[in-house]
Amino acid sequence: MDLNITGPQFVLGTMDFGTRVGPDDAFAILDSFVAGGGVWLDTANCYSFWADPSGVGGASERVIGAWLRARPGARDAVRIATKVRQNPLVPHSWPQSAEGLSARAVQTGVEESLGRLGVDHVDLLWAHAEDRTVPLEETVGAFGALVAKGAARRVGAANHAAWRVERARSLAREQGVEPWSALQLRHSLVQPRPLTLLAEAGHRLLADEDLDFARSERLSVWSYTSLMWGSYVRADKPLPQTYDHPGTARVLSVLEDMAGELSATKNQVVLAWLIRQGIDPIVGASRVEQIEEALAARRVQLDDEHLARFAEAR
């Protein structure tokens, strides 16, 4: 079914489904998301091995699969994105046993994901992280083969350096296969101190170079950790130490003022800021009210003056 999606969209992040968010709550969130006009679901085959007693991923995909079975016609109402790379092959052994991006690993990972989801294809397949132990040519060929056989409609790269994505796209052209056409990176309104390491293993920040590259090549850009785990609105969720610098204080002050001026929540202004730049923000939710708040951010319109105020504060 052609959903005729144009422009940036809110993406429902389902990382905690089946672990921190039980099936009943997950079903309610999914129902609310679709009822509110949401389309894209983002998951991964490794979600969430660190929170699952089994020590491996798959819980999120299984919950989505159960929801699809319980909602006839739901598959036509949503588009599903999942990822391969990172799922532990040995329970409770990560990163030592994390699956890679060899042709065999990619093929096996996708087959297992499709089984858990109960679908014959995903609409977007991500390489979750780089795997420099495998020739890029092999990975590109494996992703291209999945598109050719109909198991994936599109392919993209999460947490990859821009030069690696461009190299992969060149190799895809040489091989005559579908190239990566989407980027997924961590991005939000506040930024950490320059040259500091993130505490979260595997996270890669969106850089100006990535956005410039994506705009030049007409690639989709998805952002994760878009709302910083609730830190914009919850006093019990302080920003990580690496965000403690004068620029953060200035940006948060502007955010507070702007939310009041626009009669919006701070989360909604952050999401509107991302959308205004052509970025698709992934929004995780553990309650229906959270996804309703996110979808309502579509009504928040930021102009060039709003963007300039944030840019000056940073």
Residue-wise pLDDT for 106-151, tens only, equals 999 999 999 999 999 999 999 999 999 999 999 999 999 999 999 9
Q: Specify whether the CB–CB gap between 278 and 8 falls below 8 A.
A: yes
Reported as a pLDDT band with limits 50, 70 and 90, residue 6 is low
Give the DSSP H or E segment for 224. strand 220-224
Average pLDDT score over residue span 158-162? 98
| Residue 181 in domain | yes
* Distance (Å, whole) CA 259 – CA 265: 6
* Distance (Å, whole) CA 169 – CA 147: 14
Write out the residue range of the structural domain in which residue 222 sits: 11-313
- Which of 102, 101, 98, 103 shows the shortest CA–CA distance to 86? 98
| Residue 4 in domain | no
pLDDT at residue 8 in the model: 81
| Residue 5 in domain | no
Backbone angles phi, psi at 283, to 5 degrees: -125, 115
| Residue 3 in domain | no
| Residue 6 in domain | no
Give the range among 4-8, 83-87, 110-114 with minimum mean pLDDT.
4-8
| Residue 166 in domain | yes
Residue 118: exposure state from Cβ atoms within 10 A (0-12, 13-18, ≥19): middle
Reported as a pLDDT band with limits 50, 70 and 90, residue 5 is low
| Residue 307 in domain | yes
pLDDT tens track for 178-225: 999 999 999 999 999 988 889 898 899 999 999 999 999 999 999 999
The total domain count for the chain is 1
Average pLDDT score over residue span 33-61? 98
Average pLDDT score over residue span 260-264? 98
| Residue 77 in domain | yes
What's the CATH code of the domain at 236? 3.20.20.100
Q: Specify whether the CB–CB gap between 13 and 224 falls below 8 A.
A: yes
Q: Specify whether the CB–CB gap between 95 and 89 falls below 8 A.
A: no
**Mean pLDDT (the chain, rounded):** 96
pLDDT at residue 243 in the model: 96
Q: What is the pTM of this model?
A: 0.95
